[in-house]
Amino acid sequence: MSTTGTSTIGGMGHRVKRKEDPRFLRGKGNYVDDIKLPGMLYMDIVRSPYAHANITKIDASKALAIPGVLAVVTGKDLDAAGLAWMPTLMSDKQMVLPVDRVVYQAQEVAAVIATERYIAADAIAQVEVEYDPLPPVIDPFKAMEADAPLVRPDREQKTNHIWHWEAGDAAKTDEAFRQADVVVKQDLYIPRIHVASIETCGCVASFDRVAGKLTVYMTTQAPHAIRTVFSLVTGIPEHKIRIISPDIGGGFGGKVPVYPGYVVACVASLQTGHPVKWIEDRSENLQADSFARDYHISAELAANNDGTMKALRVKTLADHGAFDAAANPSKFPAGLFSVITGSYGLEAAHVAVDGVYTNKPSGGVAYRCSFRVTEAVHTIERMVDTLAQQLKMDPADVRMKNFIPPEAFPYKSATGWEYDSGNYPAALRKAMEKIDYAGLRKEQAEKRAKGELMGIGISTFTEIVGAGPSHTFDILGIKMFDSCEIRVHPTGSVIARIGVQSQGQGHETTFAQIVAEELGLPVENITVEHGDTDTAPYGLGTYASRSTPTAGAATAVAARKIRDKARKIAAHLLEANPDDLEWQDYKFQVKGTPGRSVGMKEIAFAAYTNFPSDVEAGLEAVDYYDPPNMTFPFGAYICVVDIDRGTGQVKIRRFVAVDDCGNIINPMIVDGQIHGGLTMGMAPALLEAITYDENGNMQQGTFMEYLLPTAMETPAWETDKTVTPSPHHPFGAKGVGESATVGAPPAIANAVVDALSHLGVTHVDIPFTPWKIYAILEEHGVAE
Ligand code: CDP
C-alpha cells in the first residue's frame, strides 16, 4: 500500500481530526430527542412492579380523564391487531405488551399517549393495574429444576431450558484430559451488566396516512434489518417504511434489539395519524433493557507439568431472562463463545452451553464485544493464570510456551475457527518491555516481604470480529455482508453511503479516509452518510466491531471499481491504451512516463464532460462485500494493581495495552476506541454488576447503586501497537472497537488474584468491590 503524499489527501494512517466533532462540540448534533415534528404526541410507559404476576385488571379511566391524554394502549389492544408479541433476534418471541401476565420487573404493561411529555408522565401514575403475584424464578440453576415456576407457559416446551449448544470435540477432549499431567478447574461467574449509553433508547414514529408511509427516527444500530423485520411483522411494504438512525449517543450493542417501546410508538402513530415520540428515562433504561453477560461458567484446563496446555472443557449456564433476545447470529445461540481457546494452540476443546429463562429482563446483548467473546476471553485468560499458579510458573512464561506461533497462521482452532493472522509473542514482549515486567516482579517480591499487596495481571487475548461470511452468519435469515455506494461528482467531490451505522466511532471520518486513499481525492471533499434506509445501501449495521472488516472493505472495493472505470477515462484523456497506465502516487500515469499523468479530479470532470464513446457517463459504484472470513485482532495487556489493606480498594497503578488491529485507518480514532474500551472494561472488573433479590427486584436501579467509572477511578492508560495485517481484508485492517473492553477485565482480574495468590487465593469473581476484597483480606487475616 502506497502512503506517498497521503498527508495532502488524508488517507490511510493519518490522524485526521473527526469530521463529526464540530457539530457535536457546538451542540448541533441531531439525536432522536432533537427531532420535533408538527402535531407530535408523546408516549410514556406503565411498568410492572412485579417480576412475575398475572394481570387481573387494567383500568385506564382516570388516566384518560386527564386533559391532553388521547389514548392508553394495552396488550389487549395490540392482541386485536396481532401485535402483542414480536420476534426476537434469536428466533424467540417477546411480549410487546402483556395480555395477562408479566414476567419481569419493569416490564412494559401499558402506554399512555398524550399531547405533552409531562402529561403522559403524570398519566401513567393514574393507570390502575391489578396484579396477582406469582412465585418468580431468579436463579438460573433453580430455573432448571423440575418443579421451578415456568417463566414461559406460552411455549410448547414446558420447561425453562431454552437450548443446548456444543462446539468442539468431546471425545478428543476427554482423551487429552486422560493423558494430561495436571487438570485445573475453576467456576466463574460473569455478572449481568448494563450498557448505560449516555443516550437512552427512543424513537419518533410518524405515519403519513396519505402516502401510507411509516417513518421512524430511532436509536438503532441496524436500521435496514429493522426495516425488514418491521415490514414482515406489520405487513407494511418495505418501500413504505423508512428508518432513520440519526446521531446516536452510544450503542455498544444495547441498541441492536427491538424494544417494545419502539413498536408501541409505531402502533400509536398508525392509530392516531400523528407522530409519536417515546424517549426512555434513565431509570427505565437501566431497569428494562440493554443487559449483557450473565454467564455461569465451569472450566477445566488440562496440561503437562512443564506448562504445555493440552485441552479445555467448559460448561456454561446462560441466563437469558424472560425472552431469548440475545443479539447473536442465528447459527450461534451462545454467540462466538466457542472462540474460547484464545491465543493458545490446544489439541482439543469442548464447550457446552445451556440457555435458560428466568424472571428478569432479557439479556445477552453483545455489549461492546463480538457476541460473547468477552465471556470466552475472561474464561481462558483466567484459566491460564490458574494453571500458572498451580504449576508455580510465571503466567508470562506459560503464555509464551502455548501461543499459536506466528508461522502457524492461518490457524484452525480446536473449536473450528480459522484465525487469519497473528503474532502473539511480539505483542506480549512489547508489553512486557514497556511496563518493565521483570522490574515489577522484583518490586512485588519486596512489597510482599513488607506485607503490601501488589499484583501484576496479564491478558493476551484474541478477538473474532467482522461478521461475517454470509455462509456462516445471518441474523433472522438475513445474511451478514455489508455495503458502500460511492458517487464522484463532476468537480471531484464525493458522497459515500454506507450500510453500517456509527454511534460515535467516527465513521464519517475513517470511511472518508478509505475513499481518499483509494481515489486520491482529499478527505475534506468526501462526505459519508449512513443511517437512512431510503438512501443508504442495505447493510446489517454496526456492532461487534464489524464495520471496518465489512463495510470498510466494501468501501475500498467500491472505490476500486470506480478506479477501474477511471482508468478507461484516463486512457482517453492521455490518448493511451488503458493497459499501458499504472496507478501511481494517486494518479494514472503512462507506465514509465511520470510526466504523462492525470488525477482523479480531472478524470471526474471528464466522466461528465468528455468521456469515451464506449464508456457510460458518470463515476459511481456500489459494493456489497461478503468477507471470506472474520478478522482476528489481538492484544497483550498488563495491569498493575495495589490493594489497600485498610479498605479493600483495588487501585490500578499502571495498565499497558498493546493492540494489533492490522493496518490502521486513523490512529487517533483507534487510540480513542482503546481508551474508551479500557475504561468500559475496567468498569465490570471493579464496579458494575446488576443483581436481583429473590423476588426479582433489581438492586441497582439508579446510578447511585450501578457504579459507572468516572475520571477519578480511571488510570492513565498506556497504549502501544503491533501491526499484523489481515491477509484477506482489502486493505489489511481488522476491527478494533471492542478489543479493549474484551481484553481489560481478565488483565485486572489476574492482577487482583496475583496480589492475593500468596495468601492461597486462587480466584475471585468480578467485580472487585472494596467490600468483597476486604472480606477476603479479613478471611486471610491481612485486613488492617
Ligand atoms: O463496528 P465499529 O465501528 O464499532 O468497530 P470498528 O470497525 O473496529 O471501528 C471503530 C473505529 O475505528 C472506526 O472509525 C474505524 O474505522 C476505526 N478503525 C481504524 O481506524 N483502523 C482499524 N484497523 C480498525 C478500525
- How far is ligand 1, taken at its centre, from the CA of residue 631, in Å? 12
How large is the average pLDDT for residues 416-420? 97
Q: Which pLDDT value is given to residue 345?
A: 98
- Tens of pLDDT, residue by residue over 502-526, are 999 999 999 999 999 999 999 999 9
CB of 661 closer than 6 angstroms to any ligand 1 atom: yes
User: Sign (positive/negative) of CA torsion 179, 184, 185, 190?
Assistant: negative
CB of 111 closer than 6 angstroms to any ligand 1 atom: no
Nearest CA to ligand 1 atom 24: 735
- Tell me whether residue 117 is one of the annotated catalytic residues: no
- Tens of pLDDT, residue by residue over 103-117, are 999 999 999 999 999
- Tell me whether residue 529 is one of the annotated catalytic residues: no
Phi and psi dihedrals of 114, rounded to 5?
-145, 170
Atom of ligand 1 nearest to the CA of 662: 23
Render 20-49 in DSSP notation, one character per residue: THHHHHTT---BGGG---TT-EEEEEEE-S
Atom of ligand 1 nearest to the CA of 739: 8
CB of 666 closer than 6 angstroms to any ligand 1 atom: yes
Catalytic residue among 18, 293, 313, 368: 368
CB of 733 closer than 6 angstroms to any ligand 1 atom: yes
Render 129-154 in DSSP notation, one character per residue: EEEEE------HHHHTSTTSPPS-TT
- How far is ligand 1, taken at its centre, from the CA of residue 355, in Å? 31
How large is the average pLDDT for residues 626-655? 98
Catalytic residue among 94, 107, 221, 589: 221
- For residue 373, pLDDT over 80 is answered with yes
User: Sign (positive/negative) of CA torsion 327, 333, 336, 340?
Assistant: positive
Q: Would you call 706 helix, strand, or coil by DSSP?
A: coil
Nearest CA to ligand 1 atom 19: 665
Q: Which pLDDT value is given to residue 327?
A: 86
- How far is ligand 1, taken at its centre, from the CA of residue 723, in Å? 15
- Tell me whether residue 738 is one of the annotated catalytic residues: yes
How large is the average pLDDT for residues 633-660? 98
Spatial neighbors of 446 by CB under 8 A, at least 6 apart, are: none
The chain-wide mean pLDDT, for the chain, equals: 96
- For residue 738, pLDDT over 60 is answered with yes
Ligand 1: which of 501, 510, 517 to mutate, judged by most atoms within 8 Å of the beta carbon? 510
Nearest CA to ligand 1 atom 23: 664
- Tens of pLDDT, residue by residue over 245-284, are 999 999 999 999 999 999 999 999 999 999 999 999 999 9
Atom of ligand 1 nearest to the CA of 506: 14
Q: Provide the residue type at 145 as one letter.
A: E
The answer to whether the predicted template modeling score (pTM) of the entire model surpasses 0.85 is yes
CB of 358 closer than 6 angstroms to any ligand 1 atom: no
CATH number of the domain located at residue range(s) 292-467+629-779 in this protein: 3.30.365.10
Q: Which three cell numbers stand for residue 441?
A: 516482579
Fold of 21-29+482-625: Aldehyde Oxidoreductase; domain 4 (3.30.365)
CATH 3.90.1170.50 location in the chain: 32-134+200-248+255-288
CB of 546 closer than 6 angstroms to any ligand 1 atom: yes
Q: Which pLDDT value is given to residue 3?
A: 41
- For residue 4, pLDDT over 60 is answered with no
CB of 402 closer than 6 angstroms to any ligand 1 atom: no
Ligand 1: which of 19, 736, 742 to mutate, judged by most atoms within 8 Å of the beta carbon? 736
Nearest CA to ligand 1 atom 17: 670
- Tens of pLDDT, residue by residue over 12-41, are 999 999 999 999 999 999 999 999 999 999
Peptide bond into 767 cis (omega under 30): yes
Atom of ligand 1 nearest to the CA of 734: 23
- For residue 5, pLDDT over 50 is answered with no
Pairwise CA distance, residues 521 & 519, whole Å: 5
- Split at pLDDT 50, 70, 90, the class of 7 is low
Q: Which pLDDT value is given to residue 468?
A: 82
Q: Which three cell numbers stand for residue 300?
A: 477445566
Q: Is 271 exposed, middle or buried (0-12, 13-18, 19+ CB in 10 A)?
A: middle
How large is the average pLDDT for residues 180-196? 98
Nearest CA to ligand 1 atom 5: 545
Q: How many CB atoms lie within 10 A of CB 698?
A: 24
Atom of ligand 1 nearest to the CA of 665: 20
- Tell me whether residue 368 is one of the annotated catalytic residues: yes
Q: How many CB atoms lie within 10 A of CB 281?
A: 12
Catalytic residue among 201, 203, 369, 639: 369
CB of 550 closer than 6 angstroms to any ligand 1 atom: no
Pairwise CA distance, residues 145 & 161, whole Å: 10
- Tens of pLDDT, residue by residue over 523-579, are 999 999 999 999 999 999 999 999 999 999 999 999 999 999 999 999 999 999 999
Catalytic residue among 199, 280, 602, 738: 738
Fold of 32-134+200-248+255-288: Aldehyde Oxidoreductase; domain 3 (3.90.1170)
What share of the chain has pLDDT > 70, as a percent? Answer: 99
- Tens of pLDDT, residue by residue over 664-704, are 999 999 999 999 999 999 999 999 999 999 999 999 999 99
Element (H, E) at 570: helix 553-574
What share of the chain has pLDDT > 90, as a percent? Answer: 97
How large is the average pLDDT for residues 216-221? 97
- How far is ligand 1, taken at its centre, from the CA of residue 505, in Å? 7
Spatial neighbors of 663 by CB under 8 A, at least 6 apart, are: 1, 12, 13, 723, 725, 731, 732, 733
Please state which of the ranges 1-5, 591-595, 663-667 shows the lowest mean pLDDT: 1-5
Pairing label, strands 161-168, 348-356: antiparallel
Pairwise CA distance, residues 750 & 773, whole Å: 14
Q: Is 617 exposed, middle or buried (0-12, 13-18, 19+ CB in 10 A)?
A: exposed
CATH 3.30.365.10 location in the chain: 21-29+482-625, 292-467+629-779
